[in-house]
């Protein structure tokens, strides 16, 4: 089974004085879930939001590329069924 591409995103970085979850806690959670972590402010950093989504798309494409390399050919699979 292929692991999904996941990014844990902390939003509203511009309102850090109102934060409920610290950066360390977000980073630890990302490590626990084996995913990437970033903080940003969608209101002030639209480029960072775009970069985050591009990173996620790149990760998804890498997963599919890796999955395609591991897929057995039809003839090998058929040989296993016959034998």
CATH number of domain containing 44:
3.40.50.300
Residue 1 lies in a domain: no
Write down the pLDDT at residue 50. Answer: 92
Helix (H) or strand (E) segment spanning residue 64:
helix 46-70
The parent domain of residue 24 ranges over 7-82
Q: How many domains does the chain have?
A: 1
Confirm whether 27 is domain-assigned. Answer: yes
Better-predicted residue by pLDDT, 49 or 83: 49
Q: Give the span between the Cα atoms of 25 and 46, in whole angstroms.
A: 24
| DSSP single-letter state for residue 82 | H
In angstroms and rounded to an integer, the radius of gyration of the C-alpha atoms of the chain is 19
Contact 3, 36 (CB under 8 A): no
| Residue 55 lies inside a defined structural domain of this protein | yes
pLDDT digits (tens, 9 = 90+) for 47-77: 989 998 999 999 889 888 887 777 666 556 6
* Nearest in space to 39 (alpha carbons), one of 5, 71, 1, 7: 7
């Amino acid at each position: 089974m292929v692991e999904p591409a996941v990014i844990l995103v902390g939003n509203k970085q511009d309102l850090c004085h109102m934060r409920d979850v610290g950066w360390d806690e977000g980073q630890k959670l990302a490590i626990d879930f084996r995913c990437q972590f970033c903080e940003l402010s969608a209101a002030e950093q639209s480029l960072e939001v775009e970069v985050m989504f591009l990173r996620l798309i790149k990760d998804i494409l890498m997963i599919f590329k890796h999955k395609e390399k591991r897929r057995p050919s039809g003839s090998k699979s058929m040989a296993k069924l016959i034998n």
